[in-house]
Structure 1
């Protein structure tokens, strides 16, 4: 009985540690995300969403962003930034202003929109976001969506 219980506990611990390794961090502070991406030599993944009202945004999250395949891909390739435009959920005014500024800069007209950008600093320390490409909802699940994202990163 003790061996069975011990084995079950080990299985649970191993499973939990595997899940913990793949968890995603969605940043809302662009400055912080920029610095992390620069330090880790990763791209920035800008997700423009209406989290509490946009059906396609919710569908994209459920069908792609909440999958183990996406989690692994994201942890290996990008720093995630959620730029949210909620209707009912309260939002800090600083974040609202930042999101509106980026929405205008990238001329986002619909949701969901995902831009993958290369964060760059020039000699004077000025920051730039070089767009590599954009996408939105892609039918076919995580694998089809990731194929599009990989093409953007590779410049295809």
Structure 2
């Protein structure tokens, strides 16, 4: 009986821990920047075509949805999804924000990931200081995280 209780408790806490590692992907750049400055973490800006880009979907599946990435992201970055869907409706303000950031960072293809540090300038505006960019990296989450860490 005691052994059964221990197995149940271990299973329960494992499930709770795995569910606690879910990721929050921000879509509002201003709010994400404020949060990043509070947390003293850089932003990971993920430019994607979520409903049509095969490489974006592959990156999500092979890296972003893995436990290794979730743990790393929760400890190291604030996540921002800048989506350019073809079939999924999108708020006009988010669409305009994403287009503006695409232009600023000269994003020409998807997936593109930029790492930036948000900073407040003397006019109390948020500036995004570039740390580097990447895209899909073959080899799974560990190789992708190694590439990301080289920029952070």
Which interval holds the TM-score relative to the shorter structure? over 0.9
1:138 matches 2:137: yes
Counterpart residue number, 2:38: 39
Structure 2 residue matching 1:88: 3-state secondary structure: coil
Task: Please give the alpha-carbon distance, in whole angstroms, between the structure 1 residues aligned to 2:8 and 2:91.
Answer: 42
Task: Please give the alpha-carbon distance, in whole angstroms, between the structure 1 residues aligned to 2:100 and 2:35.
Answer: 20
Counterpart residue number, 1:100: 99
Aligned-residue RMSD, C-alpha: 1.3
Extract structure 1 runs of 4+ deviating beyond 2 A.
Answer: 2-9
1:29 matches 2:28: yes
Structure 1 unmatched ranges of 5 or more: none
Structure 2 residue matching 1:45: 3-state secondary structure: strand
Structure 1 residue 10, shift from structure 2 partner: 1.7
Equivalences, count: 152
Structure 2 unmatched ranges of 5 or more: none
Map Cα deviations across residues 53-81 of structure 1 (whole Å, 9 max, x no partner): 00000000111101111111111110000
Q: TM-score, normalised by structure 2?
A: 0.95
